[in-house]
Amino acid sequence: EAHASPTTVVRVARYLKDMPHQGYRLALDRLKA
């Protein structure tokens, strides 16, 4: 599991709300990478 700071989690959450599909995939790729 990704070790992300709360700030990063909030950023990702907002990013997902703005771009549900593409943002979700990009976020997962970045967190897993």
Q: What does each of the 33 residues of the chain score in pLDDT, given as a tens digit?
A: 667 688 888 887 887 777 666 767 777 788 876
Distance CA 27, CA 13 (A): 9
- What is the structure's pLDDT at 3? 72
- What is the structure's pLDDT at 19? 64
- What is the structure's pLDDT at 2? 63
Angle made by CA atoms 2, 28, 5, in degrees to the nearest 5? 40
